[in-house]
Amino acid sequence: MSFLDLTVLLGGLAIFLHGLGLAREGLQVVAGERLRTLLFALTRNRVVGLVSGAVVTTIVQSSTAVTVMLVGFAASSLMTLPQAMAVVLGADIGTTVTVQLIAFRLTPYALLLVALGFALRFFTRKRRVRYAGEAVMGIGLLFFGLKLMSDATLPLRGSPLFATVLAHLATTPFAGLAAGAAATLLMQGSAPTIGLLIALATSGSMSMAAAAPLVLGANIGTTLTPIVAAAGQAPAGKRVAFAHALFKLLGVAGFLPFIGAFTRLAERTAPDVPRQIANAHSIFNLCTALVFLPFVGVGARLVSRLYPDGGGRERFGPRYLDPRAIESPALAFGNAQREFLRMADIVADMVKDCLRCFEEGGVDLAAEIEARDDQVDILNREIRFYLARLGQEAMTREQADRQMELISLASDVENAGDLVNRNILALARKKAAHGLAFSREGWADIREFHGKVSENLDLALVAFSSADEEIARKVLRHRQKLMDIEAELKEKHIARLNQGLRESLETSSVHLDLLAYLRTVNLHMGNLAEAVVRRRERDQDRRE
């Protein structure tokens, strides 16, 4: 192979990888929220997990990327280990779809696809159509890169040295395993490795016997990136990465003694070597999935013993903000919303517990509420940073609106937490320091108002998490009603002042300020329901 041929080979590989990336990005944007819906459907049962994992991987175009996401999901308690293991098996099937696509003889139409994709990308206004064009253009570039690699490897067909190497790979499977794993680790995915094998086979330079151990090695190579990604994760995340590696290694160990039969089976599936290589990849992953799927429960228990939970107190931080989902806005928004709801739940508990500080005067409870407020501050900061990392170009208009909405609502929820920590707790300390006591009627009014605010806060969380417009409008009606109730309670308090009730005189400022702070908490948290109503109205306007 000359220097020029090597240059063409490397350039073709670069175009192939760029095309694969364009197709991945375009498909993710076109899939949009459906991708998030699929991921959240994974918890139903292992069969649904298998199918969903295959579909999501077909869209994301990388089983390694999906497995790395699952590492983060499991570490965040988003799904259990058996569920994640079923999805991993499905993801391995999904990656075979990409390889089957590569094996089609579409190279004569590669530049036509590039031209068509370019026209859709740059001469249409609809965002989804433009990104569909990007996906088509990526597929065209993928096949054009494949053609360049195939042309560049033509001289290898007559090379005695290369023939010797292929014979060595065919007779020494472990060398092929190592080479396939190394190439896959280098290119961060099995699809590029097998794409290169298909290019060699298209030029007549690769036999099925030599390709078989390389295909098995490529499947081992896909396990290395998730293992590296899981290094800093919680034990649950490490278990997913280890389970993925265990599936692949056991699968390869099962196939390796019968590699001759495996090669002959693949050769019988198609007359041409490129398709045989793609089919070999599919046969391995389908067989592995079907064999191991019934035993994911047993596998989960085994992996849990190998990676037990560590002792010690875990440092507080976000659970769901997986940085590996940033490339897919639909997944990232799902993560951000789950973290936001976690943050809102903490504030809801702060609101519900704050009144006990007036009854008990407990220093420990106040310190606990202050610690929760610190947690809210951490989550608010991390959510904002996470959402800020999403590129505007990769988002639809709906997603851009959602980005601003979540950032704004996170600030509202943090403000509600600050009101409890800085203002309401300060009133409790003032009351305790001066030995004050509310009148029986005044305290009953405060307790009743606090209960209504807490109830409306819970409804707001339900409305936001379920995107239920009916419940959201109910929250907004209650929010207005609570403002009217607060005004009535102030009038009742003033009436007690006019009667000269001693407790009311002593606690007047605390009483009125507490009502006002609870009202403001209600206003902030009611914005969650308002966001649901606005989102529905925007969707309706876009449909019209």
Question: Over 216-269, what HEC string results?
Answer: HHHHHHCCHHHHHHHHHCCHHHHHHHHHHHHHHHHHHHHHHHHHHHHHHHHHHC
pLDDT in tens, the chain (544 residues): 567 767 877 887 788 777 766 766 666 565 555 555 555 555 556 677 777 677 766 665 556 556 656 665 665 555 677 777 787 788 788 778 877 877 777 777 788 888 988 888 887 777 678 778 887 888 788 778 777 777 776 676 656 776 676 667 667 888 888 888 888 777 767 777 888 888 888 878 788 888 888 889 888 888 876 776 666 566 766 777 788 788 889 999 999 889 889 999 999 998 888 899 989 999 998 998 888 888 887 877 887 777 666 544 456 778 778 776 777 777 788 788 888 999 999 999 999 888 888 876 556 778 888 888 989 998 998 898 888 887 655 666 777 788 888 889 999 999 999 999 889 888 888 888 777 788 888 889 889 999 999 999 999 998 888 888 899 999 999 999 999 999 998 888 888 777 776 665 677 888 888 899 999 999 998 899 999 888 887 767 665 5
Q: What's the rounded Cα separation, in Å, for the pair 499 and 491? A: 12
Q: Shortest CA distance to 73 belongs to which of 239, 242, 285?
A: 239
All structural domains of the chain: 3-305 (no CATH), 323-543 (1.20.58.220)
Q: What's the rounded Cα separation, in Å, for the pair 153 and 8? A: 9
- The distance in angstroms from the start CA to the end CA of the chain is 61
Q: What element of type H or E holds 72?
A: helix 63-75
Q: How far is CA 234 from CA 71, 81, 139, 241, in A?
A: 9, 13, 37, 11
Q: What angle do CA 278, 188, 93 make, to 5 degrees?
A: 40
Q: What's the rounded Cα separation, in Å, for the pair 312 and 237? A: 17
Q: What angle do CA 253, 79, 294 make, to 5 degrees?
A: 40
Give the position of tokens 């009125």.
512
Q: Shortest CA distance to 387 belongs to which of 414, 372, 405?
A: 405
Neighbours of 516 (CB within 10 A): 14
Q: What's the rounded Cα separation, in Å, for the pair 97 and 319? A: 32
Q: What is the tens place of the pLDDT at every residue in 428-444? A: 888 887 777 888 888 89
203: phi then psi, degrees, rounded to nearest 5: -80, 0
How many CA atoms, within 13 angstroms, populate the side-chain half-sphere of residue 218? Answer: 29
Tokens in use for 477? 């009606």
> Could you write out the DSSP letters of every residue in 400-411?
HHHHHHHHHHHH
Q: What's the rounded Cα separation, in Å, for the pair 426 and 21? A: 55
